[in-house]
Amino acid sequence: MHKNLQAFCTRTGVASSLIMFSFGALFAQTDYAAEADQAFEKMAFSSSAQEYIKAYAKVKDIEEKGRVAFMTGESFRMMLEPAAAEEWYDKAIGLRYGADDPSVYLVYGDVMHSQQSFDDAIDWYVAYKENGGDAAVADARIERADNDALELDEPSSRYMVENLLLLNSDGYDFGVGYASKKSDEVVFASSRESSTGSGEDPITGQSYMDLFRSEQDKKDRWSTPEPLNSTVNTEFNEGTVTFDKKYKSIYFTRCISDDESSYACDLYRSTSMGSKYGPSEVVELINRDENDSSQVGHPSFTVENDFLMFVSDIDGGFGGKDIWYAAYDSKEDTFGEPINLGENINTAGDEMFPNMRYDGTLFYSSTNGKMGGLDILSAAPSDGTMKFEKGETVPYPINSSADDFSIVFKDGEDAGIFTSSRVGGKGKDDLYSFTLPDMKFCFRANVYDYDTGNPLMAGVEVNGSNGDSWTFTADADGGLELCGDEIKKNATYDVGVELQGYISTGDRFATAGLSESTTFAREYFLKEVVLDQEYQMPLVLYAFNEAELLVNNEVNGTDSLEYLLDIMQRNETYVIQLESHTDSRGKDAYNKELSQRRAQTCVDYLIGAGIDRERLIAVGRGEGMLLVADAEINRMETEEEKERAHQANRRTVFRIMRFDYVPGE
């Protein structure tokens, strides 16, 4: 919303950076708008909007009138009043303001984008480019609008988001912190009318921000928010909160200002005294002198309370506002020197509202996300103290095309609360709950006769790596399913399918690594057992004049033999004969010997995989049983076709010779 000191009590929107470059050209054009320009430069947007509207009625010069209309729209945009901003951008464009400053088209596009009017947003981004705007900026905005539209149609995450209507007002509600171990009590900032003091914040046009508390009953219903006592709430802005591990102390941001000037924002803390808090005191994290205007805000403890994260624009950062941290010694109640979180987290833009999830993952908001406005990013922990991987934008519906920020998690759960200015809210900024529902997994199978296609009432056994197991008999249609809550996440399941008189089969499926609900649909085709019948299997191929299994970039003969290995493991009484064949090239006696070596290669592979030697017979057939006759090969036009035919003849098949082998004897 704001890029001034109150930003640390409230929050900052990406949009404000678009107007900063042109203050010199925009301001002090006429006496009529001088007061409005001064208010805008101080980022008192509510005041500037009122003054620009007064000036607009008086200005006669068309060029200046267009500028005043544009600045009125900018004031409303910064106050999160997009409908009013649209009205004044339209006036500015009608007065040909865009001919001199194409940024009106860009911010118009941003306003439409934040309201999920993606087609309109793209039209304005195109107009920005066509009227002399930065093509790279326009193209990036267009790509973002396209991506956001797709994300809303087909969300890439399972999070469920719900507006917390009982907590929200028609103003700004944001910066929540859990105030109890059970996460059934919250404290958050709000500009609602029951805030302390009677003044109006010139930035927002609403009451100054105060901290409010609400409790959740056994039916998960939140109570009406009540302001904290006056030792915490003042006539100034109080913002984003955090609590120590034992919930004995509250840490929050306070920004002091008056009609003439603004002072640095700082962190404060207060100790719990029953349902109230004691006197608040400044948390000294940086060394200030009386002229220091550095800002400090957005406190948040790490999981073990050993570090306090915060946001500041002190020297030594990467630009804008950065996330910093200071070691906390709870015994001495002292803080160490501020340390920047580094380039994986901080950028030349603004990074704010840090929060650490129970598993050590860092969540924060940045103006350099991928979905527009402020985005919530996550960064996995890395090696080293307070080190993190590069932040990644959290997908919709946590993020939206509007501002999304200040996320907090319940202890041990993928659930919590965050703040958003998205379309459909109750106020300008609203609190939203989020949950990650359990994934649902379903195993659904059908069993058929391989040759006839008829369903089989086979026995099916499913064994999970987590110890769960089930045994079924397929129904008359050959079907069965496990579609309740039986299949668990992060597990692997082995499936065995058996029926007397058929070759047993099966496979494996796994839920580990899946991020969405999944149905594992399987069809199993059982081959009837016929003694001394040739059974085909996936090709086991050999190079010309070689007995070793062919393994290259296109073929892996060992993979093909895994099919037979699986059959042998599932059918422990089978004795099989492996038969290898050659192509017709070479002498018959040599081919007979070559094919015998090839068959033995397959037998040796299976023995090496744990199959008893007594269950395997190697037979070389030579060139006597060609799949593709020489006459047919000779009629082929290309050498490539001929070689493929010869390769098909160099094969291995198997026969079931007996099924009376007794394992272990």
pLDDT, tens digit (0-9, with 9 covering 90-100), for 313-324: 998 999 889 999
Pairing of strands 518-526, 392-393: unpaired
Report how many domains make up the chain.
4
Q: How many CB atoms lie within 10 A of CB 299?
A: 25
Q: How far apart are CA 148 and CA 153, in angstroms?
A: 9
- 643-650's contacts with Cβ under 8 Å and 24+ in sequence apart are 646/544, 646/583, 646/584, 646/585, 647/541, 647/583, 649/581, 649/582, 649/583, 649/584, 649/623, 650/541, 650/542, 650/544, 650/581, 650/582, 650/583, 650/598
- 347-350's contacts with Cβ under 8 Å and 24+ in sequence apart are 347/318, 347/319, 347/320, 348/318, 348/319, 348/320, 349/14, 349/17, 349/319, 349/320, 350/3, 350/12, 350/14, 350/320, 350/321
The last residue of one of the domains, among 471, 505, 526, is: 526
Would the pLDDT of 446 be above 90?
A: yes
| Upstream peptide bond of 397 is cis (omega within 30 degrees of 0) | yes
Residue of 570, 177, 639 lying closest to 409 (CA atoms): 177
The last residue of one of the domains, among 153, 175, 210, is: 153
Would the pLDDT of 187 be above 90?
A: yes
User: Can you give the pLDDT at residue 22?
Assistant: 40
First-to-last alpha carbon distance for the chain, in angstroms, is 80
pLDDT, tens digit (0-9, with 9 covering 90-100), for 157-168: 889 999 999 999
What's the whole-number mean pLDDT along residues 210-232?
94
- Asked if residue 267 and residue 216 are part of one domain, the reply reads yes
% of the chain beyond a pLDDT of 70: 92
- Asked if residue 172 and residue 140 are part of one domain, the reply reads no
What's the whole-number mean pLDDT along residues 444-469?
96
Q: Does the residue 646 lie in any domain?
A: yes
Q: Which amino acid is at 660?
A: D
- Asked if residue 218 and residue 204 are part of one domain, the reply reads yes
Q: Can you give the CATH number for the domain in which 378 is found?
A: 2.120.10.30
Q: What tokens appear for 597 in the block?
A: 């070596």
Q: Does the residue 665 lie in any domain?
A: no
Q: Does the residue 663 lie in any domain?
A: no
Instruction: State whether the Cα torsion 228-229-231-237 is positive or negative.
Output: positive
Q: Does the residue 243 lie in any domain?
A: yes
Provide the residue count of the chain: 665
pLDDT band at 18 (very low <50, low <70, confident <90, very high): very low
- Asked if residue 410 and residue 308 are part of one domain, the reply reads yes
Residue of 307, 296, 245, 246 lying closest to 268 (CA atoms): 296
User: Can you give the pLDDT at residue 29?
Assistant: 53
Pairing of strands 469-473, 459-464: antiparallel
* Secondary structure (DSSP) of 268-317: EEEEEETTEE---EE---S---TT----EEEEEE-TTSSEEEEEE--TTS
Q: Hey, which of 35-39, 63-67, 421-425, 461-465 has the most confident mean pLDDT?
A: 461-465
Q: How many CB atoms lie within 10 A of CB 213?
A: 19
More confident residue, 619 or 539: 619
pLDDT, tens digit (0-9, with 9 covering 90-100), for 376-392: 999 999 999 999 999 99
- Asked if residue 634 and residue 494 are part of one domain, the reply reads no
Is the separation of the CB atoms in 511 and 441 below 8 Å?
A: yes
Q: Does the residue 357 lie in any domain?
A: yes
Would the pLDDT of 257 be above 80?
A: no
Q: Can you give the CATH number for the domain in which 490 is found?
A: 2.60.40.1120
Q: Does the residue 623 lie in any domain?
A: yes
- Asked if residue 557 and residue 486 are part of one domain, the reply reads no
The last residue of one of the domains, among 138, 153, 168, is: 153
Q: Does the residue 219 lie in any domain?
A: yes
The answer for residues whose C-beta is within 8 angstroms of residue 360's C-beta and 6 or more apart is 303, 381
pLDDT, tens digit (0-9, with 9 covering 90-100), for 470-493: 999 999 999 999 998 999 999 999
Q: Can you give the CATH number for the domain in which 16 is found?
A: 1.25.40.10
- Asked if residue 411 and residue 288 are part of one domain, the reply reads yes
Q: Which helix (H) or strand (E) segment is 525 a member of?
A: strand 518-526
Q: What tokens appear for 271 in the block?
A: 């100790």
- Asked if residue 338 and residue 192 are part of one domain, the reply reads yes
- Asked if residue 250 and residue 213 are part of one domain, the reply reads yes
Range list of H helices, 95-163: 103-114, 118-130, 135-153
Q: Can you give the CATH number for the domain in which 606 is found?
A: 3.30.1330.60
- Asked if residue 409 and residue 426 are part of one domain, the reply reads yes
- Quote the pTM value: 0.72
**Residue 558: domain span:** 534-658
Q: Does the residue 289 lie in any domain?
A: yes
pLDDT band at 25 (very low <50, low <70, confident <90, very high): very low
DSSP-derived 3-state class of residue 562: helix
pLDDT band at 258 (very low <50, low <70, confident <90, very high): low
Q: How far apart are CA 430 and CA 185, in angstroms?
A: 17
Among 406-415, 554-563, 645-654, the range scoring the smallest mean pLDDT is 554-563
Q: Which amino acid is at 632?
A: E
Would the pLDDT of 17 be above 50?
A: no
- Asked if residue 144 and residue 80 are part of one domain, the reply reads yes
User: Can you give the pLDDT at residue 13?
Assistant: 36
- Asked if residue 280 and residue 374 are part of one domain, the reply reads yes
Q: How far apart are CA 42 and CA 105, in angstroms?
A: 24
